[in-house]
Amino acid sequence: MNKVLPLLLLFLYTQSWAQVNAKWEILENRFESPEFHRAKLTLSNTGSSDLDAGWKLYFNSVFISVNTQVQTEPFQIRHLQGDFFVLEGKNASPVFKRGEEISITYQSRGPYLKNSYAPEGLIFQDADGTHFEIKEYQVEAISLDQFREMAASTPLPIPTAARIYSQNEGLSLLPKEQLPPFLPTPKSWKYTGETLKIKNAGLAVVGIPEFEEASKFLLLAIKQGYKPTVNRAEAPIQIRIVKSSELPVEGYKISIAKRLVFISASSPKGAMYGVQSFLAMMPADFSTRITDEFILPQVEIEDYPAYSYRGFFLDVARNFQPKSQILKLLDLMSIYKLNVFHFNLANDEGWRLQIPGLPELTEFGSKRGFSEDESDFLWPYYASGADPKKSQAGSGFYTVSDFQEILAYAKGLQIEVIPEFGVPAHSRAAILAMESRYSKLLKAGKTSEALQYRLAEDDDQSKYLSAQNFRGNTVCVCQESTYAFYEKLVLEVKAMYQNTGVELKNWHTGGDEVPSGVWTASPTCKDFLAKNPDIKLEDLNDYFRSRAASILKKYGLEMGGWEEIGQTHFGNSVVPNTKFADQNWRLYAWNAVAGWGGEDMAYRLANAGYPVVICSSANFYFDLAYDWDPNERGHTWSGVTDMYQAWKTVPGKLYLSHDQTIEGKEWSWASVQASFTKLSPEGKKNIIGVSGQLWTETVKSPEMLEYYLFPKMLGYIERAWVGDPAWSDAESEEEMKTKRLVEWNVFANLIGQKEIPRLEKLRGGFNHRIPKSGVMVKDGMIYANVQTPGLVIRYTQDGSEPSESSAIYSNPIPHKGGEKFRVFTPSGNAGASIFLD
């Protein structure tokens, strides 16, 4: 039998059949009430044969409504789960003839804000079920000028070249000696002499046994870059890491006089921070080039943090990040003295940690790909691809060994890892994985075992839709198998910590965004409530929290969760839930959209008695776009956030953290302060720290992750260590804003002159956003500036793209038309250009 011919025919058939191209364009974008956008999707059959009636087009979009209206007959758009939709015929889609174009127009609520918000991940399914990803897909982008016209009726601060210039006014290049020695800024520092440049000297690092890890870390770091041919005639460099009991637990001192370096600390944490600060004073390329010269600034430093909790939250459930990227981020956290890695390992869209005894969690829940019924793996949320084996962002998990390596690595850097497994909502991946287990064991006749860890139930007709548009994403809190699952999870994860020699102290339960309508038509809950008349339907959330807390307490763990676990409803208002205020539950206060009225919730919860971590969405959510440019990726639901917005946060006076609402309306400090909750003395003690967050719906790769974080995250890092900025203590609003600009100029120079060059060298380099230059034309002259002085503005006057060899802007130039401006880093990396007509 000739096997080659059928395979060849199949190949030719597939190649001819799988030729569907697509084009998407915006038709109307309305910002006035009623807000909506109207768009057109055009499909082209460029293959050599007709496509039978009944074909479907699947796609992803976080940014259209679940009831999007199609204006082209006979089509409809049907919402499946989350961001996954299908375009199909109301009965059956028509025959798609070769050479034919089909244009489908639809309308969705809300304006269209970003070019990355267009439908993505297009998967075409033929009538016989065969499918393929559409590779030829064109999205017609809207320009900044077009977007500005569309949003003309709104106060949105569109980042035109002139607006950027205005925002950067008051910034100027400062001498390096006026800048702090490193980021985050130490509490006090004093340069005591000229920096020494020492060649071919011997070097010794001596530390007490208690600080052995810090000593080894420092010696290894130095050896990466400093390889002298030791000249015995040269006096050696001595670095001594010593104990000083009077220092705060995370505090340190550095004293460098000639060739003698003292790093003093009272604990291993302080010793590590002192070591990192010492290394931060080395040249940016210290770890990437071999040199026989050692740089020693002559300086006295004393430093300690404002907060005991300085966290970074990373979601790897929505989109996955490899272990290597986690280790790279841990290195950066240590460099910048962040001490808590809050690791979100499970959500609706993925389960990312191997759990012994529950293999389905990763066999099913860690994979995403295309199917009609989501029976073998999760759907390809966030356009993660049709093939689960090739889905780098959608599929993936950490083995027990991987996770233990991460734990050990973090421990060596004095970083606590807090795992998060969200319950009772945000649990769809776990629910479906346990349903897979249930079905498999039930078929094998193992009914008792099948029911042991089941999270769903039969015949639950409750109707609800989560904040991320999921149905069936909330566990049944009225059945014991849910708590058996949770206890199994706690036991297995705790064992991973113990077997690594790491103490697990804190556990994050999630607990946020439980949808309205859950458990309302649950037979199990109806029976449970009948047997427990003291518990009402509206009490089930509190019942679950109590049970979860009991399990954690049983194993010696402290419970934490998003702010919702410490809240309840009073009429139409959300208020602190005093029922649990004495339980020491750690609350992560996140929902602080500027202008929506909940900006002081962190204070209300702290005053009620809860330990609180400030996670303000309007300041510290790094998945928000940098600005309102339609080409800047990211969310806008809580406004936009750049490095300045994060830097100017005042955790102790949160009403000072904004100048505008998320829509760009005026934010009056005085009027907001009048209605803002004031922290009580006890409430102040309950603010234990801050956290920066990166959710990953729109983050598809390690490179994108780094772009979202840097330099935005650097503003947060300053606040996490330093606390409230000095300008916030000024007596008048005018004085505060004057001092704020002075302090911002110092910080912006620190970033431009020192930190961006470091970021481009550390750990192989971090991808970061380079700002556009501000440009203004006045009286026939062009003025340009940059947000981070120390970066270089280059320009051309013939319309060509500026390169490293282009002229450097230093003074105003005549405006002739056709000028382009572009910002460059010292290593030659460049940002987007600005063009003047």
Active site residues: 513
Q: If we measure between CA atoms, which residue out of 591, 588, 619, 592 comes closest to residue 606?
A: 588
Strand order in the sheet with 84-89: 75-81, 84-89, 56-60, 120-125, 131-133
Helix, coil or strand: residue 272: helix
The answer for residues whose C-beta is within 8 angstroms of residue 582's C-beta and 6 or more apart is: 609
CA–CA gap between residue 261 and residue 279 (Å, rounded): 12
Residue 152: Cβ-neighbour burial (10 angstroms; 0-12, 13-18, 19+): exposed
Q: Are strands 340-347 and 350-351 parallel, antiparallel or unpaired?
A: antiparallel
How many other β-carbons are positioned within 10 Å of the β-carbon of residue 572? Answer: 5
Residue type, 548: A
CA–CA gap between residue 525 and residue 518 (Å, rounded): 10
For 236-267, give one letter per residue: b (16+ CB within 10 A) or e.
Answer: ebebbbeeeeebeebbbbbbbeebebbbbbbb
Q: If we measure between CA atoms, which residue out of 113, 112, 114, 153 comes closest to residue 28?
A: 112
CA–CA gap between residue 622 and residue 655 (Å, rounded): 20
How many other β-carbons are positioned within 10 Å of the β-carbon of residue 676? Answer: 16
How many other β-carbons are positioned within 10 Å of the β-carbon of residue 666? Answer: 10
CA–CA gap between residue 426 and residue 510 (Å, rounded): 8
CA–CA gap between residue 312 and residue 337 (Å, rounded): 11
3-state secondary structure 109-145: ECCCCCHHHCCEEEEEECCCCCEEECCCEEECCCCHH
CA–CA gap between residue 487 and residue 78 (Å, rounded): 38
CA–CA gap between residue 264 and residue 256 (Å, rounded): 11
The answer for residues whose C-beta is within 8 angstroms of residue 339's C-beta and 6 or more apart is: 250, 269, 309, 310, 311, 333, 414, 415, 416
CA–CA gap between residue 363 and residue 354 (Å, rounded): 9
Structural contact between residues 384 and 393, judged by C-beta atoms closer than 8 angstroms = yes
The C-alpha R_g of the chain, in whole angstroms, comes to 29
3-state helix, strand, coil in the chain (%, to 5): 30, 25, 45
CB-based contacts of 741-744 (< 8 A; 24+ apart in sequence): 741/170, 744/170, 744/171, 744/644, 744/647, 744/648
The answer for residues whose C-beta is within 8 angstroms of residue 506's C-beta and 6 or more apart is: 416, 418, 557, 558, 560, 586
Measured between alpha carbons, how far is residue 135 from residues 19, 20, 21, 221, 648 in Å?
9, 8, 7, 45, 43
CA–CA gap between residue 18 and residue 48 (Å, rounded): 10
Q: Is the dihedral of CA 548, 550, 551, 557 positive or negative?
A: positive
Helix 400-412 and helix 323-335: axis angle, to 10°?
10
Residue type, 515: P
DSSP 773: P
Residue type, 297: P
Q: Is the dihedral of CA 663, 669, 673, 675 positive or negative?
A: negative
Helices (H), 315-368: 323-335, 360-363
Phi-psi region of 615 (alpha: psi -120 to 50; beta: other; left: phi over 0): alpha
